[in-house]
Structure 1
Amino acid sequence: MDTRRLFRTFALPLATVGLLVSGCTAAGPSSGESDAPGAAGRAAPSAALKPYYGQKLDWRECGVPGFECATMKAPLDYAEPEGDSIELAVSRVKAKGPGKRLGSLLVNPGGPGGSAIGYLQAYAGIGYPAPVRARYDMVAVDPRGVARSEPVECLSGPEMDEYTQVDQTPDDAAEASRLEQAYKDFAAGCEKLSGKILPHVSTEEAARDMDIARAVLGDEKLNYVGASYGTFLGATYAELFPDRAGRLVLDGAMDPALPARELNRDQTAGFETAFKAFAADCVKQADCPLGRTSVADATARLKDFFAKLDASPVPTGEDRRLGESLATTGVIAAMYDDGAWPQLRSALAAAQDGEGAQLLAMADSYYEREADGSYANLMFANAAVNCLDLPAAFDGTDAVRAALPTFEKASPVFGRGFAWASLNCGFWPTQATGKAHAIEAKGAGPIVVVGTTRDPATPYKWAESLAGQLSSGRLLTYDGDGHTAYGRGSDCIDTAINTYLLEGEAPQDGKRC
């Protein structure tokens, strides 16, 4: 298991549902425009930034029929905008009506590290409600360091295979040392292969890139739907450019006021809540592999199963065997969407019978591992952004051991693994530039913050907190399971968000569905 603060979500089947791990927060504004929070939203771009804001995109057909792609330039370092630039991939599908065109609607699936273009072309551009797609050009920008936008690279496919199998619940000093070395090797690989870009993939910089995208797309204000980590990206944009913030939907919200350790611990509790919901459903099913008595018994059985895999991994039909780390990752992947629960029951039953292929496939989906053994850069970008956005949760193994009781209290099932996974940024080669702080975004119009009550990756209380921080926040609650709410089957949620996007009428603060 590798839970390195990843919150991405796709509203897609499990095969494309990604990872999770707890949060990030940006530093204060620091570009060539203004150092005062919110002032950048009222100021014209500096002379050094004008060429970026005035660039013209050369659109071409690409990939999926009906979609266009282009390349946009942004400063590599906003503190030195006259220096090197970075190329960012952009994609869109134009509004076709009926109805008056409302401009562009940028989408981001979260992560950090999830490909916005992949999300657009596989889901949002064809799966968002038809009235929304009819009146908006649906647009995605892969954030810097992600997918098609000069991706961060760290390890080869075989190296990632080895990395994902490292024991993340060490039982002794030797195992803890091996885990620590794995984190150091991962960080060293990122520095070796992507050292130039690593200091410049923060959420603040990505938000500034979105403002350039807004300008070159010809929009006066940014309209945006961000999921999971994408909520932090959207909130950061509103903080930097409140006067340019249009209709913003932040679904599956993060809490930018929390430091890394608290974020990770909260997320640990979120997965415990999600597992209890799964277990409560499982014990009612005839095929439940965790017994049919109680949630407590199901929890004990899963912990026992993980312990057995730690001692003796099971075959999968390939060179890799299913040990505790990969099995835990497979279970975590299914917590994102209650539609994956039947698949998880089947995979757990098979693994208990000594056949680990199904659960391995779920872990591979989480890590975005391809059939040829290669990996997308999701995990690499995730670490790079998170470790830049916030100071590390822990600086060494002693600090993790001291915090284990609180993590295990938060989740008897996942606590130890989440605590040790929180150590990864402790060995990062670049210093964090961000810090935890509340985001108010004074001067922005109504911002819709969506929270799901039993969301594993972004606990509901984070949505409550962010909506309370934002001066114009409107909390929209979905009483349900899974990660995020828009487009997941709730007519109440979808209608509220569609009305906001199409008519500008935000739901009443506190509305529940």
Structure 2
Amino acid sequence: MTRCRGVGRPGRAAVLVVAALLVAACSAQGDADPSDDSSPADPPAATRSDATKAPSAALAPFYTQKINWTSCREGFQCGKLDVPLDYANPGGERIQIGVIRLPATGERIGSIVLNPGGPGGSGIEYARAAKSVLTPGILSRFDAVGFDPRGVGQSAPVHCLSGPQLDQFIGLDGTPDTPAEVDALAAGAKEFAQGCQAKSAKLLPHVSTADAARDMDVLRAALGDTGLTYLGKSYGTYLGAVYADLFPKNVRALVLDGAVDPALPTVPDVNAAQARGFQVALRSFLANCFTQTSCPFPSKNADEAQSRIADLLKKADQTPLRNSTGDTRKIDESWTTLGIVTALYDKRSWPVLRVALSQAFQGDGTTLLRLADILVDRHQDGTYSNQTEANMAINCVDHPYPKTTSVYEQAAQAAQKESPLFGAYVMWGSLPCEYWPVPPTGTDKPLKALGAPPILVVGTQRDPATPYQWAQALAGQLSSGVLLSYDGDGHTAYRTNSSCIDKAVDTYLITQTPPKPNTLCPKVT
């Protein structure tokens, strides 16, 4: 995700959204198990990576450390990993990375490191859901390992604003129509950036994805693995690709699901593509909705339905929807849009969206607000995880952003023409990076990972958050990229009810043998 206001480069993993929906809305459908969880045969020993890049002498103490694992509920073990705050000065200050693992239940191959996306998503929380994230066959052969990337959760977290301040920031008019509204949004963006500087100045220059990838290589060594086995979703594909580009000889098997194209500039290209993706996802939702008796669009006409949603957003911009949660937030256009977007991440949440829109058309935005809270990780007591703040902090150092508000305004106007419901909202979400207090350290460029073994890139053809074209692009950029496609809806494909995808991924993870290039898994009905 590029925007801490809810959507952008790229989104949280769908499994986390659906898990929260099951608790919050009670009408979403549960995860379906793959039809076949059998494990492929053992890989030949010679296929395992053994060409590990030796660390420098200054980094040797980090690479030779052992994690002190302690029990932390339900069979999990937790620990801490020491890494340099600044890899250019490894003898300087250290920070600690929070780590968790679930030991393999069968004949162990090694560890599989997980990342759910974001940036800002907690790898520790994601690993806690390992029994949903991974098939039993993979859980049998690998320790499931999660870590919070630096700046996130339990790993030197970035902090910027209080809960009430975040409520106000996320509720700012994300589609400003007047100069005064543009000024208000810019003032909020500037306040966000200044808050990060005030509370996290020391961390901000050192939370890039490249830094997190270096941490991941230290983690690989501490786990005792000669090569990294990894499952990254959404933004996690960017982390995995950066790792492979830095450490191609240390790759064992990487699955990059819901891929990001690292060569695209965020403003306007990434944001515009994502806005179009949500527009496509909305059309898929509507087509399904028209087959349901509970659909709130009696005309069964997609254009008319989208017009009705547009009218809802305009009305919320003028008069907020009713809020029955007990807090004081006004469910305005931004919160309403964010609630809709949340449910478009995963088709299993479409039943909840039907209910939420039915209520919203009657003036009640409560369910939409609860959906929005899932995506920004807001708790019932009004506090937030630091996902929103870490998301912006990482993105703003990873990519160059325009430093003139008029550029965002022009890009928003152009995006609005292509994606009337989401274009401007997504584009304006990157505005805090205009005011970011530290310069970007990353660039937008293809990542080739020359010398790496086969890397599996998974793309869903109607993915709203990371469009399918990005998976095609990343697979083409990586020197050893192999594209696996899914004719489906929703964000990411593995463990979303396609046995074809699950079998191909599991076979690759265990044997290091990828599917044939450009394999297409059929739609699951």
Q: Could you state the TM-score of these two structures normalised by the residue count of structure 1? A: 0.92
Whether 1:203 and 2:209 are equivalent positions in the alignment is: yes
What is the aligned partner in structure 2 of residue 280 from structure 1?
Answer: 287
Deviation at 1:437, TM superposition (A): 0.7
Deviations along 1:100-123, one digit per CA (max 9) or x if unpaired, are: 3111110110110000010001x2
Deviation at 1:395, TM superposition (A): 2.3
What is the aligned partner in structure 1 of residue 500 from structure 2?
Answer: 492
Distance 2:433 2:473 in 1: 25
Deviations along 1:32-67, one digit per CA (max 9) or x if unpaired, are: xxxxxxxxx8642111100000111111011x3100
Matching residue within 449, 456, 463 for 1:448: 456
Distance 2:68 2:295 in 1: 54
Q: Residues 126, 338 of structure 1: CA spacing in aligned structure 2 closer, same or farther, 3 A cutoff?
A: closer
Deviation at 1:2, TM superposition (A): 3.7
Whether 1:377 and 2:386 are equivalent positions in the alignment is: yes
What is the aligned partner in structure 1 of residue 152 from structure 2?
Answer: 146
Matches within 5 A, 1:340-351: 340-351=349-360
Whether 1:299 and 2:306 are equivalent positions in the alignment is: yes
Distance 2:297 2:493 in 1: 28
Question: Which amino acid letter does the alignment assign opposite residue 510 of structure 1?
Answer: N
Matching residue within 73, 87, 94 for 2:96: 87
Distance 1:269 1:324 in 2: 19
Matches within 5 A, 1:242-257: 242-257=248-263
Deviation at 1:275, TM superposition (A): 1.0
Distance 1:43 1:95 in 2: 26
Matches within 5 A, 1:34-433: 43-62=53-72, 64-97=73-106, 100-121=107-128, 123-125=129-131, 127-261=133-267, 262-317=269-324, 318=326, 319-392=328-401, 394-433=402-441
Distance 1:335 1:124 in 2: 23
What number of residue pairs does the alignment pair up? Answer: 485
Distance 2:18 2:432 in 1: 26
Residue pair 2:248, 2:452 contacting (<8 A) in 1 also: yes
Q: Residues 13, 163 of structure 1: CA spacing in aligned structure 2 closer, same or farther, 3 A cutoff?
A: closer
Deviation at 1:176, TM superposition (A): 0.7
Deviations along 1:371-395, one digit per CA (max 9) or x if unpaired, are: 1100011110000100000011x32
Deviations along 1:383-418, one digit per CA (max 9) or x if unpaired, are: 0100000011x3233112222342023311111211
Question: Which amino acid letter does the alignment assign opposite residue 67 of structure 2?
Answer: L
Distance 1:510 1:323 in 2: 43
- Aligned with 1:152: secondary structure? coil
Residue pair 1:455, 1:484 contacting (<8 A) in 2 also: yes
Deviation at 1:96, TM superposition (A): 1.9
Distance 1:404 1:188 in 2: 24
Distance 1:441 1:320 in 2: 46
Deviation at 1:508, TM superposition (A): 0.6
Deviations along 1:213-236, one digit per CA (max 9) or x if unpaired, are: 010111100000000000010011
RMSD: 1.4
Instruction: Choose 217-226 or 276-285, whichever is displaced more.
Output: 276-285
Distance 2:274 2:149 in 1: 24
Q: Residues 57, 478 of structure 1: CA spacing in aligned structure 2 closer, same or farther, 3 A cutoff?
A: same
What is the aligned partner in structure 2 of residue 20 from structure 1?
Answer: none
Instruction: Choose 276-285 or 246-255, whichever is displaced more.
Output: 276-285
Q: Residues 127, 416 of structure 1: CA spacing in aligned structure 2 closer, same or farther, 3 A cutoff?
A: closer
- Aligned with 1:11: secondary structure? helix
- Aligned with 2:287: secondary structure? helix
Distance 1:76 1:190 in 2: 17
What is the aligned partner in structure 2 of residue 434 from structure 1?
Answer: 442
Question: Which amino acid letter does the alignment assign opposite residue 404 of structure 2?
Answer: G
Distance 1:286 1:209 in 2: 51
Distance 2:409 2:238 in 1: 29
Question: Which amino acid letter does the alignment assign opposite residue 18 of structure 2?
Answer: L
Residue pair 1:10, 1:16 contacting (<8 A) in 2 also: no
Deviations along 1:149-204, one digit per CA (max 9) or x if unpaired, are: 11111111111111111111111011110100000111111111111111100000
Residue pair 1:282, 1:292 contacting (<8 A) in 2 also: no
Distance 1:479 1:149 in 2: 37
- Aligned with 1:49: secondary structure? helix
- Aligned with 1:413: secondary structure? coil
Question: Which amino acid letter does the alignment assign opposite residue 174 of structure 2?
Answer: Q
Question: Which amino acid letter does the alignment assign opposite residue 118 of structure 1?
Answer: E
Distance 1:167 1:15 in 2: 29
Residue pair 2:175, 2:424 contacting (<8 A) in 1 also: yes
Instruction: Choose 141-150 or 394-403, whichever is displaced more.
Output: 394-403
Residue pair 1:291, 1:297 contacting (<8 A) in 2 also: no
Q: Percentage identity across aligned positions?
A: 48
Deviation at 1:6, TM superposition (A): 3.8
Distance 1:381 1:6 in 2: 13
Q: Residues 290, 414 of structure 1: CA spacing in aligned structure 2 closer, same or farther, 3 A cutoff?
A: farther
Distance 1:499 1:428 in 2: 43
- Aligned with 2:80: secondary structure? strand
Unaligned runs of 5+ in 1: 18-40
Deviation at 1:259, TM superposition (A): 1.0
Distance 1:450 1:304 in 2: 36
Residue pair 1:321, 1:356 contacting (<8 A) in 2 also: no
